[in-house]
Amino acid sequence: MTSTATAPVPAMVRLSAGLLGNPSFRRAFGGFKGTRARLQGAQPTGPQPGRNGVYRLDKPGKPGKLPRIWLTEPGPEGREYCAVYPSGPDKGGLKAEELGERCFAEGLSAAAVADGALRIQCFQAAEICFLHAATRAKVRLAVIYRDDLCCGGSWFLGRHPRRTLAARASALLREAAGEGSAEACWLLADAEGVSRYWALRAVKLAGADEWQQGSAWLRFARAAEAQAQDLAGIALAQESYGRAARALGACVEEGNWHAKRFAVEAEASRRRMEQELFWA
């Protein structure tokens, strides 16, 4: 973690959260706006309005215990405190997962070069939130570790320097796959090089979710093509690519532009398999 990330939360912010509740709750109901404006000037390094980082951490009270995390969001004059976790009961880690997803999305949207430091801090904050969310966020944590999105500054590496991120990512994906996650299965199919076994499990677990269906069928089709020995194998790959293209195409029509690249790949591969069958 960077030194700015582990700096103590300003005393006024902590006092405000204790007396007035979660800052995001106050904002949602339009209360205590003046208080929030005053908090912005109370920084660990002196009064620097709008110079907050993405997050601050409390020091863990016990060995192995996750710290409380204080999150900020972009405001008119810079980043402002918006939420603290934990701040009350959170059965199943739903709130922690929601906060983690928000940080994760901001990290993905930050430019890798121009906003490199911001991007890393967003993923560091997401990791802490997902760790708080426990079993609900194993796949997201695996992606953070697999791609080292924290650039060596993850909480996990700080506590377990002798372990590798790749091994932790694989372990998390296998745990999530065992708990019925289709996404974990098709990510394992990628990690193990077009694994037909994990792709088939992903297909069976995808359910009605078109993004999961399309992603699973695309991995299965890649594996079927790689292992095709005859016309029947090519036909299976063509059919699977077609299923993937239809599901991913539906995602694109619903506004999921992340699926567009995969939908194009699936349709192009389906046509390639069709040509191979025609000329066979």
For the beta carbon of residue 269, count every other beta carbon within 10 angstroms.
Answer: 21
Strands of the sheet containing 55-57, edge to edge, are: 55-57, 69-75, 78-85
pLDDT of residue 59: 72
User: Which comes out higher in pLDDT, residue 103 or 112?
Assistant: 103
Contact status, residue 263 vs residue 252, Cβ threshold 8 Å: yes
| Rg of the chain, C-alpha, whole Å | 23
Helix axes 182-191, 196-205, angle to 10 degrees: 170
Q: In angstroms, rounded to a whole number, what is the distance separating the alpha carbons of residues 45 and 52?
A: 10
Query: What values do phi and psi take at 64, rounded to 5?
Result: 85, -5
pLDDT of residue 48: 37
Q: What is the pLDDT of residues 118-137, one digit of tens each?
A: 999 999 999 999 999 987 89
User: Which comes out higher in pLDDT, residue 42 or 220?
Assistant: 220
Q: In angstroms, rounded to a whole number, what is the distance separating the alpha carbons of residues 138 and 140?
A: 6
- Computed over every residue of the chain, the mean pLDDT equals 82
Contact status, residue 251 vs residue 263, Cβ threshold 8 Å: yes
User: 46 pLDDT band (50/70/90 cuts)?
Assistant: very low
pLDDT of residue 74: 87
Annotate 105-156 with DSSP letters as a single string: HHHHHS-TTTTHHHHHHHHHHHHHHHHHHGGGGHHHHHHHHHTTTTTT--HH
Mean pLDDT of 252-262: 91
Q: In angstroms, rounded to a whole number, what is the distance separating the alpha carbons of residues 254 and 248?
A: 10
pTM: 0.75
Q: What is the pLDDT of residues 223-236, one digit of tens each?
A: 999 988 899 999 99
pLDDT of residue 60: 63
Beta strands in the chain (DSSP E): 55-57, 69-75, 78-85
pLDDT of residue 148: 94
Mean pLDDT of 130-146: 91
For the beta carbon of residue 14, count every other beta carbon within 10 angstroms.
Answer: 18
pLDDT of residue 254: 92
pLDDT of residue 8: 55
Q: Where are the alpha helices (DSSP H) in 9-93?
A: 11-20, 23-28, 33-39
Query: What values do phi and psi take at 79, rounded to 5?
Result: -80, 135
Mean pLDDT of 34-47: 33
Query: What are the tokens at 1?
Result: 């973690």
Our separate counts of H helices and E strands in the chain read: 13, 3
Q: In angstroms, rounded to a whole number, what is the distance separating the alpha carbons of residues 240 and 224?
A: 8
pLDDT of residue 167: 93
Strands 78-85 and 69-75: antiparallel
* pLDDT > 70: percent of the chain: 79
CA count, 13 A, side-chain hemisphere, 130 = 24
pLDDT of residue 43: 33
Q: Is 224 exposed, middle or buried (0-12, 13-18, 19+ CB in 10 A)?
A: buried
pLDDT of residue 116: 85
pLDDT of residue 33: 37
